[in-house]
Structures are given as structure tokens and as C-alpha cells.
Amino acid sequence: MHPSKIVKLTKAIDLLGRPQGTTIDALKAELGVDRRSVYRLLDTMQQLGFPIYDEKGEGRRKCWKFEQSYLQKLPNLQLPDLKLTVSEVIGLYLAKSDMTALHGTEIGVAVDSAFNKIGSLLPNNLFAKLDKIKALFVSTCKDGKEYAGKEKVIADFIKATLEQKTCVITYNSFSTGRCSQFLIDPLHIFERYGGLYGFVRTTDYGDIRMLALERIATLKISTKRFSPPQDFDPVDRLDEAFDLILDDPVEAVIWFSAEQAPYVMERKRFNGKWSENPDGSILLRLKTSGRWDIVRWVLSCGAGARVVEPKDLQDALVAEITAMQGIYGNCQDS
């Protein structure tokens, strides 16, 4: 489901969950859609299992509501009865433990608050288990990026993505060493290694880029709307890259020693891409992008990995190792 549709769905749930329910006109105004779209959304919600019914309200207007059995009464509030199971709660906390990039920010505090509210909706026999469930998942953000003070940029980026609105940003590029201002169409946001990144389309050139959100110095949402590219799949694009660098495709064959081989073979992304040698070493065949990411990975394995091909990737590794030898040679001389 597209993010904008999810937003409309959650707004509709809020309105339908009120004691007085809601009307078609109120849904039209809140969601910013026409009458036909409202009825289509209600049909979709019923297909998803939401128990919705209508009754005659004031005058001749119908009011739409959730069935009473679906709502759990709380002081001054009615909310959908979630009926969360232990497995579902564990899944939620596992997802929360993975959000290290937001720790220490206002958004992170809001996430903690949301989970506290979820706890208040659980049946009594599950509420007592929350502390044990929390203790199962330990996360650390020592290598995470710093997002304190970037909450508005992140919130506006998400808002513009959902509303499909073009933005004017000032971006601090490490590769060029300067800040530049340009137009973007924000498409998707994702987390990697404690950092938040966004896929954007440059409005003037039409190419897809990946931006680190903490490097966006300023972001202003315009009134101009855009249509997202139909031929762009963020998951496919990330799968194509070895890590975070998106550049020209590279085909490589890498040898790993018997000691390093198990760490490679246990990774799902490499399934079917390696062949085992009699001595326990393996040859891994990759078709990916991100040449420098491959170089860094091979270097991290020390003498336990070697690029077999292509030649230019071998040369890049040799150049890096030679430069390192020069640095450490100078250290020994001093």
C-alpha cells in the first residue's frame, strides 16, 4: 500500500473510532478526496476486516462507525481493540529495537511514548510480560549518526514524501566538499547502520540519488506536486548495491580462505553465488555496484580474501595496500 494511502487509512480509522462516528462529508474533508474515493476506501477497509456499519444520524445523514465489540473503552477515549498476541508484541519490540537512528531525538521520544500507549491497550495477562519482552531485545547506537536537532528536517522530508511535494534543499555533500541548493522529489526513506537515508529524484535532471538526511541543512516544502516514477523500486535498487554506494555495475570473483568462508556462506544475500574448493576455501561471484564498498570489505578480511577478477578491482586494492604500507612504513622509520 502506498504511504499516502496508509495516511488516509489511519485518518479514517481515527474518525470511525470516535463515539459519534463520522459522515461521508467529514471523511471527504479530512482526507481531501471525492465521495467515490471515500466509499472505495470504506469498501477496502471492510475487505481488510474492519467491522464498519452505518446508522441514521441527525436529519437524513448516515453516520459510519466501528462495531462496538471492536472498540475497547478507555477513560474519555474509544480505541480499536488491538487484541495483540505475544508474537505480535515481540514483533513490535523487535522492530523498535532496530530504530537506533532515532534514539535521543524528539522522534525517538515519540516512538517510546507510542509503545507505552500500545502497552496500555494490551490485555492484563500480556501487560505483565512487557518488561520481559523489552529485556529480550538489546540495541546499541554507538555507531549511529547524530540526529538531535534534525527532527524538523526528517519530519518535513517524510511529510513531503507522503504528500508527493517537491522540496528545495541545501545539502552538504562530502564528495564535493561544499553545500549546494537544488530541487528534489522525495521518494522513500530507509535506515542503514544507524543512519537515515532518502531516495530522491532531482527535479531538474530526473536522476535518482541517495541522500543522507543528517546532511540536509535546510528543507522547504513547495506547493508543487510530483508523480513518483513507476519504474523505480527502492528495494531492487538497494539489492543491486553491495552496500550504500550506487555507481556503475561491477562483476567480481573473490576468493575467501577456509577460515573466512563460513562468514560469507551464512549470509543469505550470497546464496547460490559461491563454489567450494577442496581445501574449504570458496570463490564468490558477485554482480553488484559500489566498487569502494567491495574494496573495503576485502580489506577487512585481511589475508583471508583476495580479488581474483576484474583486474581493475585488483589494481584498486593493490593501490590502497601500497598506500597503507607507505603510511606504516613511515611510522616505523620515525
63, 15 contact by CB (below 8 A): no
Residue 2: what pLDDT?
47
For residues 260 and 206, membership in a common domain is answered with no
Residue 144: what pLDDT?
65
Residue type, 208: I
Query: Which cell goes with 249?
Result: 555495475
- Supply the CATH number for residue 259's domain: 3.30.70.240
What strand order describes the sheet that includes 274-276? 274-276, 282-289, 249-256, 305-309
The reply to whether 146 falls in a domain is no
Considering only residues 19 and 176, tell me which one the structure prediction assigns the higher pLDDT.
Answer: 19
Residue 267 has pLDDT above 60, yes or no: yes
**How many independent structural domains does the chain possess?**
4
Domain end, chosen from 199, 229, 259, is at: 229
CB atoms within 10 A of CB 318: 11
- Which range has highest mean pLDDT (43-57, 171-185, 303-317)? 303-317
- Supply the CATH number for residue 159's domain: 2.30.30.520
Report the C-alpha gap between 121 and 79 in whole angstroms: 9
For residues 164 and 111, membership in a common domain is answered with no
Domain end, chosen from 56, 78, 100, is at: 78
- Tallying the residues shown for the chain, one arrives at 334
Query: Which cell goes with 30?
Result: 479530512
3-class DSSP state for residue 261?
Answer: helix
Report the C-alpha gap between 60 and 173 in whole angstroms: 60
The reply to whether 273 falls in a domain is yes
Biggest CA–CA distance in the chain, Å, is 93
Min mean pLDDT across 45-49, 67-71, 94-98, 251-255 is at: 94-98
Residue 89: what pLDDT?
62
Q: In percent, how much of the chain has pLDDT > 70?
A: 70
Report the C-alpha gap between 172 and 179 in whole angstroms: 4
Q: Position of cell 563460513? A: 262
Q: What secondary structure letter does DSSP report for 259?
A: T
Q: What is the pLDDT of residues 206-235, one digit of tens each?
A: 889 999 999 999 999 999 999 999 998 888
- Supply the CATH number for residue 10's domain: 1.10.10.10
3-class DSSP state for residue 326?
Answer: helix
Mean pLDDT of 129-133: 53
pLDDT range class, residue 30, cuts 50, 70, 90 = confident
The reply to whether 282 falls in a domain is yes
Domain end, chosen from 78, 95, 127, is at: 78
Q: What is the pLDDT of residues 61-106, one digit of tens each?
A: 889 988 877 665 444 445 555 566 555 665 666 566 556 666 666 6
Which domain, by its residues, includes 16?
A: 3-78
Scanning the chain, the segments in alpha helix (DSSP H) are 3-16, 24-31, 35-47, 86-97, 106-121, 124-127, 130-136, 151-163, 234-240, 261-265, 291-300, 311-333
3-class DSSP state for residue 158?
Answer: helix
The reply to whether 51 falls in a domain is yes
Q: What is the pLDDT of residues 175-195, one digit of tens each?
A: 777 889 999 999 998 887 778
The reply to whether 234 falls in a domain is no
Mean pLDDT of the chain: 80
Mean pLDDT of 310-323: 93
The reply to whether 235 falls in a domain is no
Enter the pTM of the model.
Answer: 0.56
